[in-house]
Amino acid sequence: MDRLGADAPRPTACAWMGRGKHCVTYRLRRGELANFVGVVERDDWTTESWAQRGTRAEALADFAGWHPTIQRLLSEADELYRWALFDRAPLATWVEGRVALMGDAAHPMLPFLAQGAAMAVEDAWTLASCLSQDQPVHQALKAYEKQRFARTAGVQAGSRANAKTFHKRTRLGQLVTYGPMYLAGKIAPHALYARQDALYAHDVTALH
Ligand SMILES: Cc1cc2nc3c(=O)[nH]c(=O)nc-3n(C[C@H](O)[C@H](O)[C@H](O)COP(=O)(O)OP(=O)(O)OC[C@H]3O[C@@H](n4cnc5c(N)ncnc54)[C@H](O)[C@@H]3O)c2cc1C
């Protein structure tokens, strides 16, 4: 953040949207670090890795002509990684015998609602709670799956839908989508926030 000066990203998480691509900026570690996540649609790349390095030139080319904050973040970034994002449909089941899947293994999702890790934490609490009740393990695992399946499938679907919202390719599409969002943000911001309640007001600990 020290190096970014007037080009530092806002303190709130900020989604920047464009044709077939978007990016998200936010601050980390009490505001000491700025993070940038850029998402570009392409179908010619299938490497599954969380440790593959990207190049600055490639990142700058992907976001050429974007806001100075974006250009500066990419120019100053210490490390650049690149991930391929893969979307998968919900699985038929997460449980077999005494084995259960949780987190991304159970419900991988595009990161466009920023909820993958949040879902994994919710899974963990629910799983622990089900296993601590007096019932056979397989039954406890099935109870866990039952309590979590609809919620995570809904978030998977919402994340997928956001890919379309974020990547509008035509001026008309952008106007029709972002115009009402902008107005709602000005006129009735609380109505806009209330739409997020399905995500953020969900309390797994209250269900037991
Ligand atoms: C660009 C991006 C941005 C994201 N932003 C957000 C966000 O803002 N908020 C949010 O909530 N989520 C976000 N997520 C999603 C989040 O990172 C994942 O949902 C979360 O990390 C899933 O946790 P997990 O423990 O299920 O799986 P992982 O984090 O994938 O952990 C699995 C671990 O198992 C290890 N492993 C694999 N195979 C083996 C093996 N055979 N033996 C031993 N170990 C093994 C792996 O190395 C890994 O460490 C984002 C994801 C991406 C890609």
- Are residue 202 and residue 125 in the same domain, yes or no? yes
Ligand 1: lining residues by beta carbon, under 6 Å: 37, 83, 103-105, 111, 114-118, 120
- Are residue 161 and residue 122 in the same domain, yes or no? yes
Q: What pLDDT digit, counting tens, does each position of 103-131 carry?
A: 999 999 999 999 999 999 999 999 999 99
| Atom 30, ligand 1: residue with shortest CA distance | 104
> Tokens 């994340």 — which residue?
159
Residues noted as catalytic: 26
Q: Could you tell me the distance, in angstroms and rounded to a whole number, from the CA of residue 116 to the centre of ligand 1?
A: 8
- Are residue 128 and residue 197 in the same domain, yes or no? yes
- Are residue 66 and residue 15 in the same domain, yes or no? yes
82 in any annotated domain: no
Quote the pLDDT of residue 156.
94
CATH number of the domain bearing residue 156: 3.50.50.60
Q: What percent of the chain has pLDDT over 70?
A: 100
Q: Quick one: which atom of ligand 1 is closest to the CA of 116? A: 19
88 in any annotated domain: no
DSSP 8-state class, residue 53: B
Q: What pLDDT digit, counting tens, does each position of 43-78 carry?
A: 887 788 878 898 999 999 999 999 999 999 999 999
Q: Which of 43, 76, 109 delimits the end of a domain? A: 76
Residue 159's Cβ-count burial label (10 Å; 0-12, 13-18, 19+) is: buried
33: containing domain: 5-76
* CA 4 to each of CA 29, 56, 71, 96, 118: distance values in angstroms, whole numbers, following the listed order: 16, 16, 10, 50, 29
Q: Could you tell me the distance, in angstroms and rounded to a whole number, from the CA of residue 64 to the centre of ligand 1?
A: 29
- Are residue 71 and residue 119 in the same domain, yes or no? no
- Are residue 201 and residue 105 in the same domain, yes or no? yes
Q: Could you tell me the distance, in angstroms and rounded to a whole number, from the CA of residue 105 to the centre of ligand 1?
A: 9
Domain count, the chain: 2
| Atom 20, ligand 1: residue with shortest CA distance | 117
| Atom 4, ligand 1: residue with shortest CA distance | 111
- Are residue 190 and residue 130 in the same domain, yes or no? yes
Residue 163 confidence (pLDDT) above 90? no
Residue 208 confidence (pLDDT) above 80? no
Q: How far apart are CA 75 and CA 57, in angstroms?
A: 9
87 in any annotated domain: no
